[in-house]
Every structure is written in C-alpha cells, then in structure tokens.
Amino acid sequence: MSYFPEVQDPVPCEGPDSRNPLAFKYYNASQLVAGKSMADHLRFAVAYWHTFKGPGTDIFGSATFERPWNTGATPLEIAEKTLDAAFEFVHKLGLQYYCFHDRDIAPEGETFAESCDNLDHIIALAAEKQAATGIKLLWGTANLFSNPRYAHGAATSPDAHVFAYAAGQVQHAIAATHRLGGENYVFWGGREGYETLLNTDLKAEQDHLARFLHLAVDYAKSIGFTGQFLIEPKPCEPMKHQYDSDAAACLNFLRSYDLMDQFKLNIECNHATLAGHTFQHDLSVASAAGRLGSVDANRGDMLLGWDTDQFPTDIYDAVYAMLVILRQGGLGSGGLNFDAKPRRGSFDTVDLFHAHIGAMDTFAHGLLIAQALIDERPLDDEIDERYSSWNDELGQSILAGNESFDSLEAWIREHGEATPRSGRQELLENIVNTYIR
C-alpha cells in the first residue's frame, strides 16, 4: 500500500523552468558540483518527529494533521505503519538520511523496560528497511523533554534519580543509533536550563550536565560507537534560559569541561535567530573553532518571537550557509536535517512534499550560487585585500610575536595615521545578487 500515491517515485528533477510543484528545479542528486555530487554535498535528512509525528497543534489549537499512518489498534502498530510511511516518503524524495528521537520512532511504554522493548522492536524493523532501501540514519537522539519527569531538567534535574533515568534512556538511544549505523548522535538541551535562579544552583547544574556528557562518551567507547557526538545550541524555549544557548556558549562549555575533542555542534537556523544571531553567524562561530558538525535547516519568522521551525525557503540564508560549509570542506559525517514542520493550515500529506521539495531546492540552488562565488572569488578577493596589511612587514612582525606595546607606540610615532579604506558592503551585497539567478 502507498501513503503518497499522488507523488512520482522518485520525484524528478525538471530544471529551473519547470512549473511542476512535485518536481525539483535545482536538486539533482548526481549532478557534480566542484567534483562532488549534490547528494554528497548536501546530505539531506528528514526529521521523523515533525514530518511523521507532527500533529499540527499550537498553543491555542488542537491537531489539524490527520495522517493515515497515525491510526491503529495499538501504539506499536501505529509505529510500524509510521515506519512504512517514513521509508516511502524518504525514498520518493531521494533523501539519503533520516533522524529520530527514541520517543517519536517508538512509543513510550508504561515502564522503562517496556519503552526499551518498544524501541528495540522498531529499530529491528528500521534496520531491515535501511538494508532494503540504502536509506541511512544521520543521527539519533533521545526525547528528554516531553515526559513530566523531566519538568525540571534531565541531566540538570535537581533530582539524581531523574539524572539516572535520563542516563538509562540515553544509553538505550545511543545503542539504537549504533545498531542502525547512525553517523552522529545529537544532544539538544531540551529542558537543560532554568526558569528562575531563585531555586537553581546554576554551577551544580552545569557540572551535572558535563558529567552526563562524559558518561555518554564513556558509554560510546564501551560499545564501539564511533559516530560524531553533536550539541545543538538553543537559547530558550522550553526553558527561559538554556545552558547551550548559542554556538559560543556551547564551545565555552565544552572547553571548560574537557569535552571539546568529543563534540561538535549541530547548528539550527531558528535557534541562532532566537539567540539574536544570524544563521550564518552561528555557523561561522562553530566553523571557526573547527566544530561545525551538522545543520538543522529551517527558518523562523521575523515577526514571531518563537521557534516556528518553518521549512527553509530563503535563498540568502542558504547561500550564506553553503559558503560556510563549502569553505570548511563540507560537513563530514553531518548533513542538512530539515527540522521543520508545515504550517498548521497546511494539513494535506502532499504539503509535506511541497515543503521538502522547496527546501531541498533552496539548498541545492544555494550550493550552486555559493560554489560560483567561491570559484570566481569576488568576496574572497575583497576579504584578502581587506586584510592584506597582515602580510606586510608590520603585520607579519606582530603575528610573529616580535612587537610590544612599546615598539608599536614607537612605530606609530614614526608612521602616523592609518589610511581609511571602505568596507564595500553595498558593492558586495550587489555582487551576491548578480549571482542569484
């Protein structure tokens, strides 16, 4: 049986002039860009929780998404049907990867043991489907935020009993990810933060979070899981303040607790903008530290102050993101995961295809534009020129450690004022626009 009979398998690429809503305009998996296929550059993934389990609720309204795979006699039967729908969907779109939380791919049971059994049951079926289709797991993660036991945090809960529960849950989620050959494992802070400092020992909570992550590293080693561990920054929501608030805060946390070598960052566009940064900023901060591992590709809404998780359609965002990714030589084992959901009013299943096709095309288009900018160097030439004084005698001497405040004071007395130079921002913005076609 097919859940998406109206969609061709695979969705074809018809080129930029096509007006077919169920065809790609730019994404052509095998097309080479700088010697590497689009598929290998972009490594797209579907987010199980939004695409297959998202109900279309909001804080004022109940579910609007009636998915045929989300009905059945038992929670496990529903999970099995969802898995069928997921693999059909991923295959039709030509996505290589999917990502899940333990509690969206399999239902939580009455007891911890039952939850583990449910996960094991579904993971065994997912392994069969992966083998049959070649679809792979980009990353797994654990939901440490929905259940009431985590109301005050998981690893940062004031209660060690809750910490232990979270540890047991993550142990199982890492094992499941490992069994499926997952290439990464994500830690998004969930409820790791606080509502009020009146009842919070901030230092202790951060120490506990670090201990939890060290335990995860130890466990991964003990079972031979070599996937990349990723931290996903987010400044707020659900908590008023989350410890992993942005890329810079995460890097500082990892450095302080001797976790820098074991973790990279999974940067999400809407989380960066909630933190008051551009997507490009947080990608660049992570990349500059050599710690940009993966991306949750979505977008927020300028007029809404919360995590709207919309599908990425902004070509500038995609170009600027791909510039960072291409300049660091790709995402390694990471990818572009569409952590995004259709709007509540877009309740038809075909809307899921429109959303993913548009997002994949946006990043494919962004890839082509970013690669042209890199090949023809209009931005790099300007940047090289702007910093060229660091290649001159004075700059080289400063960098070599041969100067002091005294010697530089003397140098200025001799050479006088610096010559101002325009930053050419408008020119560069115009140049980017000439490449967007």
Which residues sit at the interface with ligand XUL, rule CB under 6 A?
101, 141, 186, 188, 232, 234, 268, 296, 307, 339
Please say if 101 is a catalytic residue: yes
Chosen from ligand XUL, Co ion, none, partner binding at 205 (C-beta under 5 to 8 Å by type): none
Q: What's the closest the beta carbon of residue 115 comes to ligand XUL, in angstroms?
A: 17
Using CB distances below 5 to 8 A depending on partner kind, what does residue 41 bind out of ligand XUL, Co ion, none? none
Contacts of 384 (CB under 8 A, 6+ apart): none
User: Of 101, 172, 277, 365, which is the active-site residue?
Assistant: 101
Annotation marks residue 104 as catalytic: yes
Q: Of 104, 246, 282, 339, which is the active-site residue?
A: 104
Q: How far apart are CA 423 and CA 7, in angstroms?
A: 49
7 touches, from ligand XUL, Co ion, none (C-beta below 5 to 8 Å by class)? none
Contact call for residue 268 and Co ion (CB under 5 A): yes
Report how many residues bind Co ion under the rule CB under 5 A: 3
Q: Does 246 bind Co ion (CB under 5 A)?
A: no
Using CB under 5 A as the binding rule, whether residue 296 contacts Co ion is answered as yes
The token pair that represents 296 in the structure block: 């949750």
The least distance separating ligand XUL from the CB of residue 417, rounded to whole angstroms, comes to 49
Nearest residue to ligand XUL by CB is 188
Tokens describing residue 318 = 């995609």
Q: Residue 186 binds what, of Co ion, ligand XUL, none (CB under 5 to 8 Å, by partner type)?
A: ligand XUL
Q: Does 183 bind Co ion (CB under 5 A)?
A: no
Per CB under 5 A, 307 contacts Co ion: no
- List 216, 339, 359, 367, residue binding Co ion (CB under 5 A): 339
Q: Point out the residues that are catalytic.
A: 101, 104
What is the contact surface with Co ion in residues (CB under 5 A)? 268, 296, 339
